[in-house]
Amino acid sequence: MKILKSAVIIALIMSVTNDINAQHQHGKMNMKHEDDHSIMEHDESMVKLSDKDLTNAYMHYAMINNALVEANSEKAQKASKMLVGIIKDYEKAPEAEKAAREMASKSNIMDQRIVFSKLTTAFEPLLKDNVVEGQIYKNFCPMATASGSYWFSNSNKIANPYMDKAMANCGSVKEIFKSM
């Protein structure tokens, strides 16, 4: 069962990576989600971290982020479950694994957004000095949660995962992680 699960995750990652590489050559990156056929376009380059498992984990973090921006709790939960498997195998991020497990157990978008703040906090030390290609933007929304919350993205364009569409642009870039 674990081998089958790993094979499915690897196939999904390879499929997304192949799509990204093929479309990135044309100046835009389109990620197609087969379950709802939505297309997300980004002009920014792909992020690569110092470890391929960490890169895969960040890719799933980004999937969760995008699902929350779309207010799609089902997608967020699915991506969280996949992240749990990757982080568990990575074995260097117990706090991120704990937050990913909690995220995977939530089906309500508001609960997911609260846990996403914990996941972001747990991801920061994994990302900060490990970018070898591209850039990761650390964004902040003062209106998310009681004291505000951070999130990471590949774009300097704000797409807030904590707020609904009416406040999707609330927030600002606070820091940029990039290769040294």
* pLDDT tens, residue by residue, 103-121: 999 999 999 999 999 999 9
**Selected residue with higher pLDDT from 82 and 41:** 82
Domain contains 132: yes
Under 8 Å between Cβ of 127 and 93 = no
pLDDT score for 146: 84
Q: Which of 150, 156, 152 is nearest to 62 (CA)?
A: 152
Q: Which residues contact 99 (CB under 8 A, 6 or more apart)?
A: 115, 118, 119, 121, 122
**Which distant-in-sequence residues (6+ apart) come within 8 Å of 90 by Cβ?**
51, 53, 54, 57
Amino acid 145: pLDDT: 84
SS3 30: strand
Residue 64 lies in a domain: yes
**pLDDT tens string 17-76:** 444 333 333 333 333 333 332 333 333 458 999 999 999 999 999 999 999 999 999 999
**Domain boundaries, position 106:** 50-178
Could you tell me if residue 157 is inside a domain? Answer: yes
Count of domains in the chain?
1
- Structural domain contains residue 22: no
Portion of the chain with pLDDT greater than 70, in percent: 75
What is the rounded average pLDDT for all residues in the chain? Answer: 81
So what's the pLDDT on residue 180? 75
Tens-place pLDDT, residues 158-171? 999 999 888 999 99
Per-residue pLDDT at 47: 93
Name the band, by pLDDT with cuts 50, 70 and 90, for residue 150: very high
Residue 85 lies in a domain: yes
- Separation CA 151–CA 137 (nearest Å): 8
Domain assignment present for 129: yes
Is 40 a domain residue? Answer: no
Provide the pLDDT confidence category of residue 90 given band limits of 50, 70 and 90. Answer: confident
Per the structure block, which two tokens stand in for 119? 């996941």
Identify whether 60 is part of a domain.
yes
Q: Which residues contact 23 (CB under 8 A, 6 or more apart)?
A: 29, 30
Q: What pLDDT is stored for residue 28 in this prediction?
A: 33
Which residue type occupies 67? A
